[in-house]
Structure 1
Amino acid sequence: MPANPTPTQATADEEQAVLVLRLAGPLQSWGDRSAFNRRDTPPQPTKSGVVGLLAAAAGLGREADITALVGLRLGVRIDQPGTLLRDYHTVSDYRGRPLPQAGVNAKGLQKPTSPAKDTHVTHRYYLQDAVFVAAVQGPAALVTALAEAVRRPAFPLALGRRSCVPTQPIALGEVRGGTVEDVLAEEPWQAGQAAKNAYRRRAERAPAPFSPHRIDLAATFDDPSGGDTFQDVPRSFDPRERGFSTRRIRHAWLDVPSGLDPMTTPAEPAAAADGHDPFALLGW
């Protein structure tokens, strides 16, 4: 990582830049309301999950100041929502003893369950085969340093939980200019080939003026005037000081290039780059 600036330092009036991340893998899990024996996942990456990924890439320890990373503006586009998977677990003591409870006695030893409990049930939820495009906007020097860190991460990167590894390079191209809205509206659709083939078949059956070269995708953006809130902004990753605050977000639909091969769909009239049509005089 460059010595100046570090991921914990940034100047608000610097030139802005945008880093684009492709978050794709067999399993993802972005816990936001996990408690006790249930580990939930929302239908899209959380800000704490994206900030944690960037912090891991930059080599920041759990006690590090993450103020600059939290200050990055986040936009998330849902390219392939995936499906929800429930992982059902039962836990027992191999020695045949009743399970202890979470509470401890005066000696610091876990108390036995009362009444005695021999089996504990847990549920963990994952998103299967989902693909998201996340964009973070902030000071250009900081974003550029993070882009380099994502390509050469200090710690292994994960899609929420450590067991959820990405299947494709996370950094999607070079650092961009503009805003997260601009970038996510211009970035081609990143869904898997099966989803693209299904969309192509739908386009072939649909009447005009359906265009197979564009697709509407749902997205959310950090927005102080947004009409919804998410409680997923981390205050610290220090296990002794963990906590989350809320952020306001705005929901939107983006008209995005599908990236489908135009040769597989009905041809459209091609216009010259300068806007001149050489066949106009012939009435074509």
Structure 2
Amino acid sequence: MTVLLLRLAGPLQSWGSAARFTRRTTESAPTKSGVIGLLAAAQGRRRDADLTDLSALEFGVRIDQPGTRLRDFQTAHHSGTLKAMPLSERFYLADAVFVAGVSGEAGLVQRLYEALLEPVFLPYLGRRSCPPSQPVTIAEPLDGELEQSLRETPWEASGWYRNHRDASFRRRGQSPPADVRLDLLLDSPPGPGRLPDLTLRDLPVSFDPRHRRYGLRGVRTTEARVPTAAGARSARPPHEPTSLLTPVLPVTPTTPTTPAATRTD
């Protein structure tokens, strides 16, 4: 199988698997429906498009930086009557970093990778108000197993988070360990003698706003030990914010012309 790994990092993320009236919660890690939606948007698929091939992809996620849960309030007014709508609660994950992965047929995975490089619709982390702060793609698709790829990928946590973690060990008089334990959440398809650790309703069937449909997905939880060495972190692309600016050509001053004298003789 071919694996595509994604870096999901941003100031805010929100990955909901259930919404009840005015309360919109978020899971502690990206959902399969949220990541499939990101990939479908990058390809330019409409909300009523068929999702069979994307939903069949194997999915997994590693929690590199869990972030903190944030609660926000939102209200709106009816455009015609100006009547206030009910106050709703919206939950987010702040300063979180995840490594998500999908695995499937090589041709499909390659097309998804190319779509992320030139997305038709810009990617976002669960909600349109949550753009990613880093490139979503980590590397080109690779051959292998999804779980093993998630275990071997370098730790993607932010620099300040690494420093905070190391400082907490030093305050206790301990040396920071050479590796970190990270939670893994993997697909757990039904089978004889196979019970999932938890179940989420995040298997997308249709994103059609007239009738959104999601199926149940079994999830297996495990743990990965990943080196913490700074050199093991995947390379970041060079950041040069002025590289896309078009230089302004200097304006050559023009010399005013003097009208020629008129002969009178």
Superposition TM-score tier, normalisation by shorter sequence: 0.7 to 0.9
Deviation at 1:29, TM superposition (A): 0.8
1:50 is aligned, of 16, 35, 49, to: 35
Q: Select 2:8's aligned residue among 7, 13, 23.
A: 23
Tell me, what secondary structure is at the counterpart of 1:200?
helix
> Which amino acid in structure 1 is aligned with residue 209 of structure 2?
P
Aligned to 1:220: 185
How many angstroms apart in 2 are the aligned matches of 1:241 and 1:93?
Answer: 23
Aligned to 2:101: 135
2:219 counterpart of 1:249 = yes
Q: CA deviation at 1:173?
A: 1.1
> Structure 1 residue 199: deviation in Å?
2.5
Name which one, 1 or 2, has greater alpha-carbon Rg: 2
Contact 2:60-2:147 within 8 A present in 1 as well: yes
| 1:216 partner letter | R
Counterpart position of 2:245: none
Determine the C-alpha separation between the residues in 1 that align with 2:50 and 2:77. Answer: 39
Query: How far has the Cα of 1:34 moved from its partner?
Result: 1.2
Aligned residues of 2:188 and 2:219 also touching (Cα < 8 A): yes
Alpha-carbon shift at residue 141 of structure 1 (Å): 1.1
Matches of 2:79 and 2:124, distance apart in 1: 31
1:89 aligned to 2:74? yes
Q: Report what 1:123 is aligned to.
A: 89
State the SS of the aligned residue for 1:88: strand
Question: Residue 192 of structure 1 corresponds to which residue in structure 2?
Answer: 158
Q: How far off its partner does 1:93 sit?
A: 6.3
Which digits, 9 at most, give the CA deviation of each residue in 1:16-49, with x for residues without a partner?
1000000000011112211321211111111100
CA distance in 2, matches of 1:92, 1:241: 24
Alignment gaps of 5+ in structure 2: 233-265
CA deviation after TM superposition for structure 1 residue 200, in Å: 2.5
Identity among equivalent pairs (%): 46
Distance 1:76 1:38 in 2: 25
Give me the whole-angstrom Cα distance separating, in 1, the residues matched to 2:158 and 2:22. Answer: 33
Counterpart CA distance in 1 for 2:39 and 2:79 is: 39
1:180 maps to which residue? 146
- CA change 1:120–1:228 in 2 (3 A) is closer
Q: Give the corresponding residue for 1:239.
A: 209
> Is the alpha carbon distance of 1:213 and 1:174 closer, same or farther for their aligned partners in structure 2, counting shifts above 3 Å?
farther
> Secondary structure in 1 aligned to 2:10?
strand
Size of the aligned set, in residue pairs, is 227
1:171 aligned to 118, 130, 137, which one? 137
Q: Is 2:228 the partner of 1:258?
A: yes
Q: Is the 8 A contact 1:26 1:130 kept in 2?
A: yes
Distance apart, 1:62 and its partner CA: 1.1
Report if aligned partners of 1:186, 1:257 keep a CA contact under 8 Å in 2: no
Which residue does the alignment assign to 1:103?
Answer: none
Q: Which residue of 1 aligns with 2:250?
A: none
Give the aligned CA root-mean-square deviation in angstroms. 2.2
Cα distance in 1, alignment partners of residues 209 and 181 from structure 2: 40
